[in-house]
């Protein structure tokens, strides 16, 4: 569903002010899809994304949200309703759960507080934000969750993070099953190592890490945001309307 077929569609994207979320919002805009996207704290970055979307000929509204704070979801839902009215709509078509935090600590050194924080953002937040927004998600809509290549390949220091992402992958299949009667699809995208500011820019800014990633990736390099944003935008389109309940890894052939 590119070009004119996409006009009038609206996406809600969490964590849309930077990294993969920003890139997804941009590529949706190029398909004529407007967005309401969330940001955690950097309002300046969020404004820059909205301006970028406007330059692409679409519209975007930035809303602040801590996706790990489920108590904020009712109020956020009301703000989302207002944002949708600004866009001339009462509902939206696509929900992309992108917001996340990183974690790199061995199991023996991981604290309960760290696990709780990961759970709040990566599973509980995804579950209950979906629940809160389902009344606004139009029948025939799409849900995309974002997982990680680390659910397939075990890298020491990533156990709690990967476990939460594994839970999201299972949740995605259940969303596909339970929302099928509304013709809503749900799929999970699992990126490999990508050059963003995630994990403090570890893949992007550390030459040794970047080189190691390239060595164990079939296509011979680390990923970049432009490898993921267009893929998510395409997955949301009608071209992929029969793809449902799937985990789709986008890693360039990492550790095959």
pLDDT digit string, tens, across residues 138-157: 999 999 999 999 999 999 99
Question: Of 39, 94, 119, 161, which one is the catalytic site residue?
Answer: 161
Round the average pLDDT of the chain to a whole number and report it. Answer: 95
pLDDT in tens, 195-227: 987 767 688 778 888 999 999 999 999 999 999
Q: Which residue is associated with the tokens 């899809």?
A: 33
The tokens describing 32, both together, are 């004529």
Cβ neighbors of 183 (< 8 A, separation 6 or more) are 139, 140
Distances (CA, A) of 169 to 94, 115, 149, 166, 242: 18, 18, 11, 5, 18
Q: What percent of the chain has pLDDT over 70?
A: 97
Which residues is 35 bridged to in the sheet? 11, 60
Question: Given a cut of 50, is residue 1 above it in pLDDT?
Answer: no
How far is it, in rounded angstroms, from Cα 40 to Cα 188? 22
pLDDT, tens digit, 9 for 90 and up, residues 89-117 = 999 999 999 999 999 999 999 999 999 99
pTM for this prediction:
0.95
In the chain, the domains with their CATH numbers are 3-250 (3.40.50.720)
Per-position DSSP letters for 22-44, written without gaps between them: HHHHHHHHHTT-EEEEEESS-HH
For the record, the structure tokens of 60 come out as 């975007």
Can you list the positions of beta strands (E) in the chain?
Answer: 10-13, 34-39, 60-64, 92-97, 137-146, 185-191, 247-250
- CB contact at 8 A, 23 and 226: yes
pLDDT at 3 over 70: no
In angstroms, the CA 214 to CA 176 distance is 34
Is 39 known to be catalytic? no
| Section 107-134 average pLDDT | 98
Biggest CA–CA distance in the chain, Å, is: 53
């Amino acid at each position: 569903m590119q070009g004119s077929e996409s006009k009038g569609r609206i996406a809600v994207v969490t964590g849309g002010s930077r990294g993969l979320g920003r890139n997804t919002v941009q590529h949706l805009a190029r398909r004529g899809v407007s967005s309401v996207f969330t940001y955690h704290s950097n309002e300046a970055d969020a404004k820059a994304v909205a301006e970028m979307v406007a330059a692409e000929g679409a519209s975007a509204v930035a809303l602040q949200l801590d996706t790990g704070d489920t108590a904020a979801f009712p109020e956020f839902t009301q703000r989302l309703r207002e944002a949708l009215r600004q866009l001339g709509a009462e509902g939206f078509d696509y929900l992309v759960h992108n917001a996340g935090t990183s974690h790199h600590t061995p199991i023996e050194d991981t604290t309960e507080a760290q696990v709780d924080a990961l759970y709040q953002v990566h599973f509980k937040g995804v579950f209950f934000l979906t629940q809160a927004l389902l009344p606004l998600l139009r029948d025939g809509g799409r849900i995309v969750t974002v997982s990680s290549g680390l659910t397939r390949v075990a890298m020491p220091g990533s156990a709690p993070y990967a476990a939460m992402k594994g839970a999201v992958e299972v949740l995605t299949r259940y969303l596909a099953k339970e929302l099928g009667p509304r013709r809503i699809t749900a799929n999970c995208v699992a990126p490999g190592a990508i050059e963003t500011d995630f994990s403090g820019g570890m893949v992007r800014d550390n030459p040794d890490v970047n080189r190691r990633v390239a060595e164990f990736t079939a296509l011979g390099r680390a990923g970049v945001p432009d490898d993921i944003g267009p893929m998510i935008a395409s997955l949301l389109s009608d071209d992929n309307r029969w793809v449902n309940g799937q985990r789709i890894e986008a890693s360039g052939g990492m550790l095959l």
